[in-house]
């Protein structure tokens, strides 16, 4: 379930981003520097060595994960060191992947083009990174708590916006909204004041792209073509959707698994956040430009000083923590600076990482999720192996825990919700019921459910370090709530869930309530049959009998109400997002109106409890009344009773 939340974050992702960050939801590409003496011996980063290594890893990873195909490109010192396509661009037609010809969807890695365009407009004096973005918009975003949103906030994913799903992806061009229309009709609420809390946002990046269009006077896709793609000789790259002509003919098919049918082309409404279709060869030009001061060949897209500014965080983080530069994930891995960005659509999955000091870059893109979402592990392992082979470091040593570690671990344990979430509308139910969990171990260490296989020890007050690793967790306070900052994830934090939003509590309430209602509904005809079989009386008459009957009807009605919402929510669980658009508004409104069902049911249950006599009967009535109230509670907390059609 975490994986679809990740995609819902970066299809909530549509660019996760769709991307995910190095998200959903995805982690940043780098981890903090480690204390090391001398690095281990390195393999030579040559065309021959990297080619032999990738030829050994990629085909095996594709086969094991049931992934159809991939493209990999490595650049060094301004040149393409290695590039190759693996597997198939079209499984049914048995067309081999061609890194020079076949286009891949790169999801949120597209954001790097948008941020490059923003920095071009900063150079031109048309955008002030610290100005209120309302200065550049033809509609207004009311600031939360009076703090205006700036372009720097958007580039750092600190605009404070909730995530959103409606109209994010489409497969039917007739349902496809322009970015302008999407932004105006799907304005996302702000969970946090701007600048305060990182919360990855495709909406915020789409806003930035729209601002580029407005201040430049050019449509966004045309602007990028003229000012970035043309100078960088990226002739097989486009933001345009749907594809046509040569672009459409060269587009790789996308798959859930290599033995399944190809998926429809994904139309990304937040286009500046994740709509790029490109080849690995073209992405080599983009990487070289960002490694060489904004220049590729004779094309210059940024002045060297602007490129350097873009690659540097506007606010430097605490030592050992990753940060957002001006659109790039910024951090250290094996004691080397790495900047980059990952990206995911539902079926395409990409990663781009640059080593500025070494003038090295690596780009990889897969055209399938794979079996059990195998692509995520394959992508992460590829980068880890690349680092350990060519830029190794001495294995880290974890310091001893502090004296209060066991006590602090117990205090830290509990449920946490990501700052990248939805609290408006029915989609918020997923975030209510699926949260991260911190568990304390007997030895004073802690684990996170979202980081399986990793254990953390407190090495300084409120600072936890991965045992035999470099990742860190910083415990702090945000808005009066305990919060955990993951050193490798600068675009969201974990906030301690208040009791009312605690997933453990709400899962128990939901599960037990449904169980009691199912038993009640099943017992209804069973009881009738037994009374008829043995000629027994119902035992009650008049108003108590009516109340009991209404309570049973309420139990059945509540289950039908939940079944209706399940039908509405099932596509999210299945990773199908393109149906969430205005075409569902009528059905969603009907389900919102149907909130009268659990409310009336709870009233019936309480009335029945009031009229019930006898200890055993009263206990049964109390359980049913509590179950009916439990459905009301979960529906209210999960947004099923909200009146918004913007979700």
pLDDT tens digit sequence for 441-466? 999 999 999 999 999 999 999 999 99
CA distance 365 to 379: 8
CB hemisphere CA count around 637 (13 angstroms)? 22
CB hemisphere CA count around 43 (13 angstroms)? 15
Residue 31 has pLDDT above 60, yes or no: no
pLDDT (tens digit per residue) in 251-270: 999 999 999 999 999 999 99
Q: What percent of the chain has pLDDT over 90?
A: 87
Contact of 62 with 91, CB cutoff 8 Å: no
Question: Which ranges in the chain are annotated with CATH 3.40.710.10?
Answer: 2-390
Contact of 537 with 575, CB cutoff 8 Å: no
Q: How many CB atoms lie under 10 A from the CB of residue 63?
A: 11
pLDDT (tens digit per residue) in 36-78: 334 456 799 999 999 999 999 999 999 999 999 999 999 999 9
* pLDDT at residue 79, as a whole number: 98
Q: Indicate the pLDDT class of residue 538, thresholds 50, 70 and 90.
A: low
Contact of 334 with 353, CB cutoff 8 Å: no
pTM: 0.91
* pLDDT at residue 25, as a whole number: 33
By three-state DSSP, how is residue 172 classified? coil
CA distance 441 to 610: 46
Residue 127 has pLDDT above 70, yes or no: yes
DSSP classification of residue 575: T
Residue 13 has pLDDT above 60, yes or no: no
Give the end-to-end CA distance of the chain in Å, rounded to a whole number.
Answer: 19
What's the chain's length in residues?
647
* pLDDT at residue 457, as a whole number: 97
In CATH, what is the architecture of 2-390?
A: 3-Layer(aba) Sandwich (3.40)
Mean pLDDT, residues 602-606 taken together: 97
Q: How many CB atoms lie under 10 A from the CB of residue 400?
A: 9
pLDDT (tens digit per residue) in 292-350: 999 999 999 999 999 999 999 999 999 999 999 999 999 999 999 999 999 999 999 99
Mean pLDDT, residues 173-185 taken together: 95
Q: Indicate the pLDDT class of residue 525, thresholds 50, 70 and 90.
A: confident
């Amino acid at each position: 379930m975490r994986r679809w939340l990740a995609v819902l974050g970066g299809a909530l992702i549509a660019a996760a981003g769709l991307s995910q960050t190095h998200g959903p939801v995805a982690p940043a590409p780098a981890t903090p520097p480690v204390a090391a003496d001398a690095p281990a011996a390195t393999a030579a980063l040559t065309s021959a060595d990297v080619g032999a290594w990738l030829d050994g890893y990629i085909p095996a990873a594709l086969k094991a994960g049931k992934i159809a195909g991939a493209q990999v490109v490595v650049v060094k010192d301004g040149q393409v060191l290695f590039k190759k396509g693996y597997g198939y661009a079209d499984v049914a037609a048995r067309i081999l992947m061609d890194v020079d010809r076949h286009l891949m969807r790169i999801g949120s890695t597209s954001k790097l083009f948008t941020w490059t365009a923003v920095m071009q407009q900063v150079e031109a004096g048309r955008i002030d990174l610290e100005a209120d973005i309302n200065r550049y918009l033809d509609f207004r975003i009311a600031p939360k708590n009076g703090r205006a949103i700036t372009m720097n906030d958007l580039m750092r994913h600190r605009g404070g916006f909730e995530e959103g799903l409606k109209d994010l992806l489409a497969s039917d061009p007739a349902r496809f909204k322009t970015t302008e229309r999407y932004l105006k009709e799907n304005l996302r609420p702000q969970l946090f004041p701007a600048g305060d809390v990182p919360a990855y946002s495709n909406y915020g990046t789409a806003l930035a792209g729209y601002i580029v269009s407005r201040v430049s006077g050019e449509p966004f896709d045309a602007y990028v073509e003229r000012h970035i793609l043309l100078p960088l000789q990226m002739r097989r790259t486009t933001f345009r959707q749907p594809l046509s002509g040569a672009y459409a003919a060269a587009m790789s098919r996308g798959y859930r698994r290599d033995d399944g049918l190809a998926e429809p082309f994904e139309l990304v409404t937040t286009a500046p956040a994740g709509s790029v279709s490109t080849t690995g060869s073209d992405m080599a030009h983009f990487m070289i430009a960002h490694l060489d001061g904004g220049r590729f060949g004779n094309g210059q897209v940024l002045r060297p000083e602007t490129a350097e500014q873009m690659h540097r965080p506007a606010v430097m983080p605490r030592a050992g923590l990753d940060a957002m530069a001006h659109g790039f994930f910024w951090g250290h891995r094996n004691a080397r600076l790495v900047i980059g960005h990952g990206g995911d659509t539902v079926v395409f999955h990409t990663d781009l990482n640059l080593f500025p000091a070494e003038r090295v870059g690596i780009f990889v893109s897969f055209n399938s999720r794979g079996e059990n979402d195998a692509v995520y592990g394959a992508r992460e392992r590829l980068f880890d192996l690349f680092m350990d082979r060519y830029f190794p470091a001495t294995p880290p040593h974890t310091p001893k825990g502090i004296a209060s570690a066991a006590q602090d671990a117990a205090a830290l344990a509990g449920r946490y919700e990501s700052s990248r979430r939805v609290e408006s509308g029915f989609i918020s139910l997923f975030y209510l019921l699926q949260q991260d969990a911190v568990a304390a171990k007997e030895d004073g260490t802690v684990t996170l459910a979202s980081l399986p296989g990793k254990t953390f020890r407190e090495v300084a007050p409120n600072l936890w370090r991965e045992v035999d690793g470099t990742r860190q967790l910083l415990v702090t306070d945000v808005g009066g709530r305990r919060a955990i900052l993951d050193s490798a994830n600068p675009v969201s934090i974990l906030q301690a869930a208040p009791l009312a939003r605690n997933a453990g509590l709400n899962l128990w309430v939901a599960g037990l309530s449904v169980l009691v209602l199912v038993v009640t509904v099943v017992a209804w005809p069973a009881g009738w049959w037994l009374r008829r079989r043995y000629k027994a009386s119902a035992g009650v008459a008049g108003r108590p009998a009516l109340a009991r009957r209404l309570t049973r009807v309420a139990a059945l009605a509540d289950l039908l109400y939940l079944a209706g919402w399940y039908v509405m929510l099932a596509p999210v669980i299945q990773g199908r997002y393109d149906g969430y658009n205005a075409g569902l508004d009528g059905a969603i409104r009907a389900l919102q109106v149907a909130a009268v069902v659990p409310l009336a049911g709870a009233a019936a249950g309480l009335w029945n409890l009031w009229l019930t006599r006898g200890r055993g009967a009263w206990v049964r009535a109390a359980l049913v009344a509590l179950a009916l109230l439990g459905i009301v509670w979960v529906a209210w907390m999960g947004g099923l009773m909200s009146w918004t059609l913007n979700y």
